[in-house]
Amino acid sequence: QVQLQESGPGLVKPTQTLSLTCTVSGGSINSGSHYWNWLRQPAGKGLEWIGRVYTPGGTKYNPSLNSRVTISVDTSNNQFSLRLTSVTAADTALYYCARSSAHYGGTDSWGQGALVTVSS
Amino acid sequence: EIVLTQSPGTLSLSPGERATLSCRASQSVNSNYLAWYQQKPGQAPRLLIYGASSRATGIPDRFSGSDSGTDFTLTISRLEPEDFAVYYCEQYGYLPNTFGQGTRLDIK
């Protein structure tokens, strides 16, 4: 059973960069069968897809964040990471890393979420 | 991007009743790449349905999904106490993946 765990600072100052890492256990991030995603959910609101990485090649991002977001992968440590630059209070949210099937879709495994607050 | 509109916003029902949740897409969803999730307070979403009508692993058969063009439906045949939660639909056929705003299923 694959497990995902987010880690990173819970407080980021406005204009700075938000950085989170997702550690995957119980499965290889290099399987080629899955996308590795970042999503977020502001308190009391709905879900927003941020982007994904696919280890055979490539990243895709939500155009609403495209110029500010980078997702990278570290296959040697079975981790993938999120960087979001120039953050504002609007980026305050619970950030999830999650796995989805590259063939059938649907996001079947989620981390517990990491709360990131943007405040000075 | 594809906009998903879920209705109703809140549904109040009793255990044992049938629940019908709707998700309408602003345009055709590629290959019915639509999923449904259940989210309880303080928990991550849980995948229920993918491909519009395929149940995810371990999901009880009282949960079913169907589609008709750009209209998608999640049906819970007989509500159990643990089914009261927020439900989201997601389309993953066209980037960016998008979610509906959610339907809250409350105990009546």
Summarised one tens digit per residue, pLDDT across range B45-103 is 999 999 999 999 999 999 999 988 899 999 999 999 999 999 999 999 999 999 999 99
Q: What is the mean pLDDT of residues A56-78?
A: 92
Tally of CA atoms within 13 A in the half-sphere of B9 that contains its CB: 2
- What is the tens place of the pLDDT at every residue in B20-29? 999 999 999 8
Inspect the interface and report whether the beta carbons of B51 and A96 lie closer than 8 Å.
no
Cβ of A66 under 8 Å from any chain B Cβ? no
Q: Does residue A80 carry a pLDDT above 90?
A: yes
Inspect the interface and report whether the beta carbons of B44 and A101 lie closer than 8 Å.
no
Q: Where are the beta strands (DSSP E) in chain B?
A: 4-7, 10-13, 19-25, 34-39, 46-50, 54-55, 63-68, 71-76, 86-91, 98-99, 103-107
How confident is the model at residue B8, as a pLDDT?
Answer: 96
Cis peptide before A9 (omega within 30 of 0): no
> Which residue, A40, A93, A26, is CA-closest to A71?
A40
Q: What is the mean pLDDT of residues A104-116?
A: 96
Inspect the interface and report whether the beta carbons of A104 and B51 lie closer than 8 Å.
yes
B36, B47, B55, B74: best to mutate for the A interface, most A CBs within 10 A: B47
Residue type, B53: S
Q: What is the mean pLDDT of residues A87-114?
A: 96
Q: Does residue A66 carry a pLDDT above 80?
A: no
Is residue A23 within 8 A of residue A79, CB to CB? The reply is yes
Q: How far is CA B63 from CA A28, A30, B24, B48, B108, in A?
A: 30, 32, 18, 8, 20
Exposed/middle/buried for residue A32 (C-beta within 10 Å: 0-12, 13-18, 19+): exposed
Q: What is the mean pLDDT of residues A17-24?
A: 98
Cβ of A115 under 8 Å from any chain B Cβ? no
Q: What is the mean pLDDT of residues A27-53?
A: 95
- Shortest Cα–Cα distance, A14 to chain B (Å): 26
Chain A CB contacts of B65 below 8 Å: none
Q: Does residue B31 carry a pLDDT above 80?
A: no
Inspect the interface and report whether the beta carbons of A98 and B44 lie closer than 8 Å.
yes
Distance CA A39, CA B46 (A): 14
> Which residue, B61, B103, B57, B55, is CA-closest to B78?
B61
Inspect the interface and report whether the beta carbons of A110 and B35 lie closer than 8 Å.
no
Q: Would strands A93-101 and A34-41 be described as parallel, antiparallel, or unpaired?
A: antiparallel
Give the bridge partners for A49, in sequence order. Answer: A39
> Which residue, A5, A6, A3, A9, is CA-closest to A118?
A9
Nearest to A113 among B44, B56, B99 (CB): B44
How confident is the model at residue A99, as a pLDDT?
Answer: 97
Backbone CA torsion sign across A74, A80, A52, B38: positive
Q: State the distance between the two ends of chain B, measured CA to CA, in whole angstroms.
A: 36
Inspect the interface and report whether the beta carbons of B35 and A101 lie closer than 8 Å.
no
Average pLDDT over all residues of chain A? 95
Q: Does residue A32 carry a pLDDT above 90?
A: no
Distance CA B35, CA B21 (A): 13
